[in-house]
Amino acid sequence: MTKNLPPPIANLIPVTAPFSPEQRAWLNGFFAGYLDLGGVSITPLSPEESANLMAGVVPSAKGPLGDGDDGEAPWHDPSLNMPDRMKLADGRPLRRRMMAAMAQQDCGQCGYNCEDYSNALVLKKEERLNLCVPGGKETARMLKKLAEEFGSETASAAPSPATEPVATPQSAPGRSRENPAVAKFVSRSRLNKPGSEKETWHIEFDLAECDLDYVVGDSFGLFPTNDPALAEAVLQAIAAPPDFPIGGRTLREVLIDGVSLAPAPDMLFQLISYITGGDRRQKAKALAAGEDPDGDADTLDVLALAQDQPRPSVAHRR
């Protein structure tokens, strides 16, 4: 018996096109059906499937997120610099490039390990891009760039979020970033020999009073607070009332344990570029973009900037 097989789908998308293999296959099928080549029929994607496709997440493929990734992470090496890590992740799905942008230390300070943090960002379960403490500004800037790269494509295809807020149950103290426990610091000792380029420390905490347990493999995230005197100095420099409400807390409380006062974050430079003019505006814009026009970016903290900048005027608020 002779069976008539349909002709193969024409290869309309070249392999050099900036798409993953799964994206190229889908686009080939779509255009073949649209142009009536080979009797191919078109099956429309749902909005969620379209959003996943643009982000490199394909449900039928392999990998923990179904994105065709082989699970290998050659960039997961803290000794590699950012350009080398991003080069190794080139062409991989978005979540893998986001992972490569992180510091690769699995330190737990973000509340995740590196892979879980990147997965949470892609799945929209986490929206904060600045949680990688060892990666600092370099990681935050790269994550922002990657998020913006795909944000516009997925925004129109993604389903609308629920209009009613969903209450998130609070975890036990010490089990999440949002609800840390207070532990007593006991001692620290450096494990590296004098002259070593690395600093590795053995640190001991007393967990008796914070009701935490520990087994080998657990990681701790440390959440230091700013000196209250430094917070007071910043308040005076910006002439702001300490009890100004921010998200159900006072400004003074937020300055003590909610934000970093050194080094100054990019968003502060961006704000300064809006309320100043001339050379100061240009320098602030450059600093917000990660540049270092005067060679002092590493030493600029919030207090120094607050004391150096003029108070906003009506002209600056335009």
Statement: residue 81 has pLDDT above 90:
yes
pLDDT band for position 24 (50/70/90)?
low
Statement: residue 203 has pLDDT above 80:
yes
Q: In degrees rounded to 5, what are phi and psi of residue 203?
A: -120, 140
pLDDT of residue 214: 81
Choose between 15 and 225: higher pLDDT: 225
pLDDT of residue 31: 65
Q: In degrees rounded to 5, what are phi and psi of residue 280?
A: -65, -40
Structural contact between residues 188 and 204, judged by C-beta atoms closer than 8 angstroms: yes
If we measure between CA atoms, which residue out of 47, 45, 51, 89 comes closest to residue 69? 89
Choose between 56 and 177: higher pLDDT: 177
Average pLDDT over every residue of 34-60: 54
pLDDT of residue 310: 60
Residue 94: half-sphere exposure toward Cβ, Cα within 13 Å: 25
Statement: residue 186 has pLDDT above 90:
yes
SS3 of the chain: the string is CCCCCCCCCCCCCCCCCCCCHHHHHHHHHHHHHHCCCCCCCCCCCCHHHHHHHHCCCCCCCCCCCCCCCCCCCCCCCCCCCHHHHHHHCCCCCHHHHHHHHCCCCCCCCCCCCHHHHHHHHHCCCCCCCCCCCCCHHHHHHHHHHHHHHHHHHHHCCCCCCCCCCCCCCCCCCCCCCCCCCCCEEEEEEECCCCCCCCCCEEEEEECCCCCCCCCCCCCCCCCCCCCHHHHHHHHHHHCCCCCCEECCEEHHHHHHHCCCCCCCCHHHHHHHHHHCCHHHHHHHHHHHCCCCCCCCHHHCCHHHHHHHCCCCCCHHHC
Determine the length of the chain: 318
Choose between 84 and 69: higher pLDDT: 84
- pLDDT above 70: percentage of residues in the chain: 69
pLDDT of residue 22: 65
pLDDT band for position 317 (50/70/90)?
very low
pLDDT of residue 35: 60
Statement: residue 100 has pLDDT above 50:
yes
Choose between 4 and 93: higher pLDDT: 93
The CA distance from 91 to 88, in Å, is 9
Tens digit of pLDDT for each residue in 229-263?
Answer: 999 999 898 888 899 888 888 989 988 988 778 88
Statement: residue 127 has pLDDT above 60:
yes
Average pLDDT over every residue of 168-182: 76
Highest mean pLDDT among 107-111, 185-189, 198-202: 185-189
pLDDT of residue 188: 93
Which of 15-19, 146-150, 215-219 shows the lowest per-residue confidence on average (mean pLDDT)? 15-19
Question: What is the average pLDDT score of the chain?
Answer: 77
Highest mean pLDDT among 38-47, 77-86, 250-259: 77-86
